[in-house]
Amino acid sequence: MDLLRDLADQEVPITKSELASIRSTTRVTVHRNLDHMAEWRWVENDTEAKVRLTIAGRLVFRAYEKFCDRAGNEAPKFLGGSPHRPALLRYLADLDSTVGYSTLQAAITASQSTLTRILDGFTTRNWATQPSRNQYKLTDLGAQVAQAYTAFTGALDWVTTHAKLVNRLGTIGRILPLDALAHGDMVAVKARPADPDRAIEFYANRVREADPDTLVGITPVASPYLNEIHKTLLETGSTIDLIVDTTVLETAKARYPHSLKAAHDLPIELYCHPARLEFGLAIFDDQAILGAYNEHSGHLWACLSSTDRRFRDWAEDLFSQHRSRATEYRAEA
């Protein structure tokens, strides 16, 4: 994670030689680590053979910083020193009671010397205590570290799995709610070459099934498919608050003037945001859906959907922030 931190500190792309100099290590080591990070889509090269963190890379670093804040700056290095260390920490956290040395050795399948060193490390850090000889129990601090580590690794796995999606969200991907990402309720649906409409159909089905009284959202494109989905809602009595940007509004005026005029007589409020929007958002009933778009075609490429309260609260705050900067658009009759 040291290399990730070095990259996060850079406001502009940096060469691999410069990174090696900062880290006081060889270019071979830097190259090898960057190759791994590129495979995970945490870094990207620019046209001048320099590297920089992607949106996904910055989100990973944010998760790492959050883990350090909760567990201490030394915790990542210690737990990363051996797979037995986090395994033992999780075992003690799941057990949540006093356990004997022999039971721990059987559960972790580590050698006696390895297990002893790990337990000494836990007790030295006040992560575990010894109520009696050869008996161990996690402390409150140890339970906090275990919880933080589980949250960190869950977020890390999720971001790495969905790095392409995160990167397509633009800058908003940096501030995704980490605690909600690895939640079992989170659904990620992506378009495929053989099924390019998969994401838009997922969105249409969710809206149709919910038949909400109210929907608020953000869209970065002028799309006849989205227009039709929202029109159907409006005609059945739903109300919609929708934020678009200037480019989308001008495109809609030029290509879909009848739809804009029809909006005058429908229960929809349109708002124009001054900055270019990079993502889509819809909030209705108990769920929130975040949309990532293909930067070339403008089609909805992927959806993130969840009913987790943390994700929905984050989405509501995101909508409110953009709504506060937008101005209401009044369609002509």
Residue by residue, what is the 3-state secondary structure of 192-232? ECCECCHHHHHHHHHHHHHCCCEEEEECCCCCHHHHHHHHH
Question: pLDDT tens digit string along 231-279?
Answer: 899 988 999 999 999 999 999 889 888 777 777 778 999 999 999 999 9
- Contact partners, residue 105, CB within 8 Å, separation at least 6: 112, 115
**For range 134-141, the mean pLDDT:** 95
Q: How far is 204 from 123, CA to CA, in rounded Å?
A: 54
Using the 8-state DSSP alphabet, how is residue 295 labeled?
T
Written as six digits, the tokens of 36 are: 């791994």
Instruction: Tell whether the model's pLDDT for residue 51 goes beyond 70.
Output: yes
Tokens 């990542």 -> residue? 76
Q: What percent of the chain has pLDDT over 70?
A: 99
Contacts for 122-128 with beta carbons within 8 Å, 24 or more apart?
122/88, 122/89, 125/72, 125/78, 127/89, 128/92
Instruction: Tell whether the model's pLDDT for residue 114 goes beyond 70.
Output: yes
Model's pTM, two decimal places? 0.90
Q: What is the pLDDT of residue 277?
A: 95
The CATH architecture one would assign to domain 2-53 is Orthogonal Bundle (1.10)
CA 124 to chain centre: 34
Task: Judge whether 113 and 50 are in contact, CB under 8 Å.
Answer: no
Domain 71-148 has CATH 1.10.10.10: yes
Written as six digits, the tokens of 299 are: 């089609």
φ/ψ of residue 167, rounded to 5: -65, -30
User: What band does 331 get if pLDDT is binned at 50, 70 and 90?
Assistant: low
Question: pLDDT tens digit string along 277-291?
Answer: 999 999 999 999 999
Q: Any idea which of 181-185, 186-190, 205-209, 265-269 has the lowest mean pLDDT?
A: 181-185
Do the domains at 2-53 and 71-148 have one common CATH topology? yes
Domain boundaries, the chain: 2-53, 71-148, 162-329
Cα dist from 210 to 60, 227, 240, whole Å: 33, 17, 14
CATH number, span 162-329 = 3.30.870.10
